[in-house]
Each structure stands twice: as structure tokens, then as C-alpha cells.
Amino acid sequence: MPKTFLQLLVISFLAWGTILHPAQAQNSPFITRWDLSKTGGTATTLTFGVATAGTVSYTWQQVGGAASGSGTFSGSTLTIINLPANAIIDLSIDPVNFQRIIINNRTDRQRLMEVKQWGTVAWTSMQSAFQGCYNMKLTTTDVPNFTAVTNMGYMFSDCYVFNQSVSHFNTAAVTNMEGMFSGCRAFNQSVSNFNTAAVTNMYGMFSGCTVFNQSVSSFNTAAVTKMSFMFVGCSSFNQSVSNFNTSAVTDMYGMFSGCSKFNQSVSNFNTSAVTSIRSMFSGCSAFNQSVSSFNTASVTNMSYMFFGCSTFNQSVSNFNTTAVTEMSDMFANCSTFNQSVSNFNTSAVTNMHGMFSGCSKFNQSVSNFNTAAVTFMKSMFFGCSAFNQSVSNFNVAAVTDMGGMFNGCSAFNQSLATWSSKLNAYVDLTNFLDNCGMSVANYDATLKAFAAASAKGISMGATNLKYCDAEAARTLLTKPTASGGKGWTILGDTKNCSR
């Protein structure tokens, strides 16, 4: 055979190969593996949500068996019947007219074991694509076409065993990453390649990712408005967030809540637009970073902000609290905290429940607190064993619950006589003064004042307190209302006039 003919033949085959290969690539199917023996619908049926632009073809093959089949579907649901009972099957979906898979916690979510190939599907959205697929692994080696994808919200939510690379994801068009990896207990893969320039929503993005501890320093967050619960429950997370541009963020509720190892600088955070920092660092037991740069002028909710931050002892003297209505448990269990709060404007605050509860070192003045709007002070200073500051300025007229307010404040030795005319008629004083350090003289003054108040039928805890000169006042308080008394029940105190 002439050499030139062979050369032409080889060239022809190569040319045909070049033509055929792209044609094949353009029609690569989306391939998944399913185990019908897992919890789901019937043993011979598979069903899940989809989105299509017309009729879509599919084929399936039993793994380790001879059974196979094919069909077409359109609309919002793919249902395949008459499958081999409890079998493992590989499902191949043709890319033509196929747009989305939407598991979204549906019945057969636990049956999806593997995503084997993305194929050449022009994906339109990944919202809730694999949500609830507890057993799913991503074993693809090809690159998905996410060019048109703007929504990856809850894409892998509650994929408990998922821990494969996402470094090949094109996220340039994505605006929504809400809950993208939420509940991914095993996930600890790099996300440094993510282009987040268009993202506006990172709500709960890594929530519940208990082993996740990867760099997020590449994240462009300039457009992000929601960061609430972004890392909640990420108990291993301790990465820098110093690059975060938070100028557009309005909500940081629970952002680092439960991040027990987190102790990174947040001094770069622009919080001027933020309205809620509720639980922002709650449970961050290692956190002790400056928050002096925080602009809190727009914040209305600071409850649980530092709850359980046992090492936190940073200044909050810059906090503008004019708009704040909620301070419940704000510093609860901050056992090291002892910083001034004299700058706090509390005129709008309605709830101080547990505000300093468990702050065993706290002993700062609260004489500036305007409590006229406050209705809850339950456990406000519970366990504040060092606290001994005047609260005579407190307007408690609206307060209905003071249960355990000074319980365990062993150093507290202040008179509450100024509260007499302001005491709410329906106030709960359960465990109110239990085991506090109030002297006989100050307890006497308090009982006399309370006896002059109009409140009736109150139960007050006063365990281990002693009275003397206030015996008549206490008798009036505890006498039944039918007999002209106040009908109070006072528990735990005793008379002691020894000097």
C-alpha cells in the first residue's frame, strides 16, 4: 500500500475522531447510583424532583445484575417503576432538555448513594439539588456546567457523609449560597476556589459542619447582606475572617454560634448596617477578641451575643445601644467578663433576662441603666458572685419576672427599699434573693419597703437571709389577704437579731 495512501487514511481517521469526540462529549449523561434497599418508597420504584425544558431520555442498569431499562420523562418529577426489588442501579439521564435534579428532602433521598458523572447538562440551578441525601458521595471526575447557575442554596444540605472536592465548581454567577453545606457533618474540603463576587446570601452556609476548618480568606463578600448562622455549630472552625467585607451585611444573628474553637480577629467588620447580632458569638468559649470597632447604631437585638464566651473580657464601651430592645443573656456565662457597661443606653430595652447570669467576676456599675421599658429581669445577675453594685435607680414598674434575679450573688449587699412604690403587682419573685449576701439591715429595709407596696399574693425566695427589725413588715406581707395582709409566701429566710 503506498505510503501516501496510509498517511491519508490515518489523517481521515483522526479527523473523524475529532468530529465524533465533541459530539459524544456534548451528549454525556448525568449518572447517579441508587440503592433501592435503603429507606424510601417502594422497593421497585424510584422517584425524585426534576426540571426539564421538554422530553428527556434516560436509561438504567442494575449493578451486578442483568436488568436494565429506558424511558422518557418531562415536567417536575421523574418516576421509574418496575425496577428489580431492592437493587442497586446506575441511572443515566441524557442532557438534552434536562435542567435540574431536585431531591429537596423527598422520599427517596436516602437511596442516592453516588453522583458518578455530571455530564454535559447545562444546569440551571442547584437549589436543594441533593438536600437530605444522607448517604451520597460525589465521585465525579468531570467538570459540571454551572455557567448559568445562580442558586446553590441547600445544594448539599444534610448530606451527612459528603466530603468530596468542590474545587472544580464554577460559582461566578451564583448569588445564593444559603445553607449550601448545612448539616454536612463530614465535610472539610477546600472552598478557596469559590468565586463569591455575586453572592448576596451566605445564611447558614456551613451551619452544622462540625469538622469544617478550611480557609475562607478568598471569599469576596462585598455584595453579601446575610451572614446569619453562617458558621453556626462549626465546632472545629478557627480560620481568619479578616478579609470579609461586611459593609452590606444587615444580619449577623448566630454567625459564629457554637464555634467553640473560634478566636480570630473581627476588628475589620463593618457593622454599620447590621440590625441583629443576637447569639453572634454564643458558645464561642475560646473567643476573646476586640469588638471595639463594632458600629452598633442600627442594632436592635444583642441577646445571647456573648453567651458562653467563658474567656471573653473585652471592652464594650463603644457599643451604641440606643436602638437595642433585646439584651437577654447577652453576657450569660461569660465567667471572665468584668468590663464597664456604663455607656449602655437601655431606654428601649424590654428584656434583660439572664443578661449577666453566670458572670462570676462581673462587678460593674449599672446605675445608668434605664429600665422603664423592661418587663423581664429573671436571672439577670444569677450566680454573679462578685457583684455588689447599687440597683436603687432601677425602675421596675413594668417588670413581671424577677425570678432568681440575685440568686447566688453572694457578695450582693444592697437595699432594694427604693423599689417599694415601683414593684409590679404581678411580679414573679421566685428564688429572687436566694443565697445572696444581703445583710440583716438591708433585708429589713427591703421587707419594709415591699410591705408598703400594693403587690399581693407574691411568692418570694429568700433562702439563707436573716431579718430582725422587719418582723412586723414580714408578718403583714405573709398574712392572708382575707385577714388584711398581702398574702405573700416568703421562702427560706429566718429571724436573727443577734448583733
> In this predicted model, what pLDDT tens digit does every residue of 350-360 receive, in sequence order?
999 999 999 99
Q: How confident is the model at residue 11 (pLDDT cuts 50, 70, 90)?
A: very low
d(CA 281, CA 154): 23
Task: Check residue 163 and report its DSSP letter.
Answer: -
List, for residues 379-390, the tens digit of each pLDDT value. Answer: 999 999 999 999
The answer, yes or no, to whether residue 369 has pLDDT greater than 60, is: yes
pLDDT averaged over the chain?
94
Calculate mean pLDDT across residues 418-424: 89
Q: Specify the pLDDT at position 20.
A: 37
Q: Which of these, 106, 101, 90, 174, lies nearest to 139 by C-alpha position?
A: 90
Average pLDDT over residues 430-436: 98
55: CATH: 2.60.40
Q: With 50 as the cut, is the pLDDT of residue 6 above it?
A: no
Report the share of the chain in percent with pLDDT over 70: 95
> Hey, how many other C-beta atoms are within 10 angstroms of the C-beta on 20?
10
Across residues 264-291, what is the average pLDDT? Answer: 98
Residue 58 in any domain: the answer is: yes
Q: Identify the pLDDT of residue 150.
A: 98
For residue 183, being part of any structural domain is answered with no
Would the pLDDT of 317 be above 90?
A: yes
Q: Grid coordinates representing 396?
A: 421596675
Asked if residue 422 is part of any domain, the answer here is no
- How many CB atoms sit inside 10 A of residue 50's CB? 19
Segment 31-43 shows an average pLDDT of 97
User: Is residue 234 a part of any domain in this protein?
Assistant: no
Per-residue confidence (pLDDT) for residue 498, from 0 to 100: 83
Is the confidence at residue 4, as pLDDT, over 50? Answer: no
Quick one: pLDDT at residue 421? Answer: 81
pLDDT at 54 over 70: yes
pLDDT confidence tier of residue 126, bands split at 50, 70 and 90: very high
Mean pLDDT for the stretch of residues 440-464: 96
pLDDT score at 499: 62
Cα separation of the two ends of the chain: 127
Query: Looking at the domain assignment, is residue 93 inside a domain?
Result: yes
Within 124-192, strands assigned E span 137-138
Write down the pLDDT at residue 422. 85
Choice between 15 and 340, residue whose per-residue pLDDT is larger:
340
pTM above threshold 0.85: yes
pLDDT class for 19, splitting at 50, 70, 90?
A: very low
The domain tally of the chain equals 1
Domain-located, residue 78: yes
Give the domain range for residue 42: 35-112
Query: Does position 133 have pLDDT exceeding 90, yes or no?
Result: yes
pLDDT at 209 over 60: yes
User: Is the predicted pLDDT of residue 322 greater than 80, yes or no?
Assistant: yes
Residue 349 lies in a domain: no
15 has a pLDDT exceeding 50: no
pLDDT at 5 over 80: no
Q: What is the pLDDT of residues 62-105, one digit of tens each?
A: 999 999 999 999 999 999 999 999 999 999 999 999 999 999 99
Q: Which residues contact 371 (CB under 8 A, 6 or more apart)?
A: 346, 349, 352, 377, 394, 395, 396, 399
Q: What is the rounded distance in angstroms from the CA atom of residue 393 to the CA atom of residue 406?
A: 16
**Could you tell me what percent of the chain has a pLDDT over 90?**
93
Residue 96 lies in a domain: yes
444 and 497 Cβ atoms separated by less than 8 Å: no
Residue 334's alpha-carbon distances to 304, 313, 489, in angstroms, are 11, 8, 33
